[in-house]
Amino acid sequence: MNDGKYLIISDVDGTFIDYDENLVQKNVDAVRRFIAAGHYFTFATGRFTDTLGEMVPGYEELMNVPGIFSNGAYLSWPDGREKLFPHYLDGRFNLKIVRRIESIWPQVNIRFTNDDGICWTKDKSDDEIDVDRVWHKVVVICDPDVLEEIRKWIGVNYPNMFRLMKSSERLLEWQSLDAGKGVCVPRLKEWIKDNLHEDVTVFCVGDYENDLEMLEAADVPCCPSSSIPEIKKICRVELCDCRDGAVADLVDRLLSGRLSGGRL
């Protein structure tokens, strides 16, 4: 395993920022030191390029390689103009699924993301919804027990068609089978080798179900101590609570030599 150049890929909510969407300045300062030391950092988030700036002002300066956006629908620089390795959903087909879900569970709220941002489907006619362009992902918002019913329903009615995941207790998402944070990790590693001509050891940091495959794809999976139990089980490095600066904790361990290639 390479111990020279490191790449940290960090989830945002509950990882780089806390669960109340507060920015942890300690993480920002640590990433700047990490980049200045010659290493690489980027984000892996369910958000898209425009909305990430609302949570992490000036995030563009913290990314020195492309980021993973819309939970892995594509890799991109912050300007979002060029999508790398894009894998999308067909809007027309997926609106039919959305309408079926809304008819069975009328209490849900559903949104999808395209290049214009977040679009809601409730109380809109089909003609008001853009199905001519690709969708990045679909998000269903409701109580956890209802989301589990919908997850099972999609599995039965559309088997092996989508990547399904929860990004929080009340958010169930689906996207292309070829998308996902996990599949983007080797793609980003390949991009760095092809464009920057360097091999890197990849440290991924995440806290929730939608980070599971990303952590499995990492050379060294890491998580805040505030993560869900399923995430903690697969991580080799447990960091401090997200409120205390989990990414800063990882940077400090790497730059001090206390963690190298996954060895404490």
pLDDT tens track for 86-109: 999 999 999 999 999 999 999 999
- Residue 68, phi then psi, degrees to nearest 5: -100, 115
Long-range contacts of 21-27 (CB under 8 A, 24+ apart): 21/55, 22/243, 23/55, 23/56, 23/57, 24/242, 24/243, 24/244, 24/245, 24/247, 24/248, 26/244, 26/245, 26/248, 27/245, 27/246, 27/247, 27/248
**CATH superfamily entry for domain 6-85+180-256:** HAD superfamily/HAD-like (3.40.50.1000)
Residue 198: closest CA among 49, 52, 4, 51: 4
Encode pLDDT of 39-66 as tens digits: 999 999 998 887 888 899 999 999 999 9
Alpha-carbon span 201 to 5, nearest angstrom: 6
| Cβ–Cβ < 8 Å for 207, 190 | no
Q: Which residues pair with 89 in a beta bridge?
A: 135
Non-local (6+) Cβ contacts of 103 within 8 A are none
Q: What is the DSSP string of 42-57?
A: EEB-SS-HHHHHHHST
Phi and psi torsions of 104, nearest 5°: -85, -40
Give me the tens of pLDDT residue by residue for the chain, a chain 264 residues long: 445 899 999 999 999 999 999 999 999 999 999 999 999 999 999 988 878 888 999 999 999 999 999 999 999 999 888 899 999 999 999 999 999 999 999 999 999 999 888 999 999 999 999 999 999 999 999 999 999 999 999 999 999 999 999 989 999 999 999 999 999 999 999 999 999 999 999 999 999 999 999 999 999 999 999 999 999 999 999 999 999 999 999 999 999 998 865 555
Fold of 91-176: 3.30.1240
- Angle of CA points 58, 180, 91, to nearest 5°: 95
Nearest to 221 by CA among 32, 11, 16, 3: 11
Q: Provide the residue ranges of all domains of the chain, joining segments of one domain with +.
A: 6-85+180-256, 91-176
Domains 6-85+180-256 and 91-176 in one fold = no
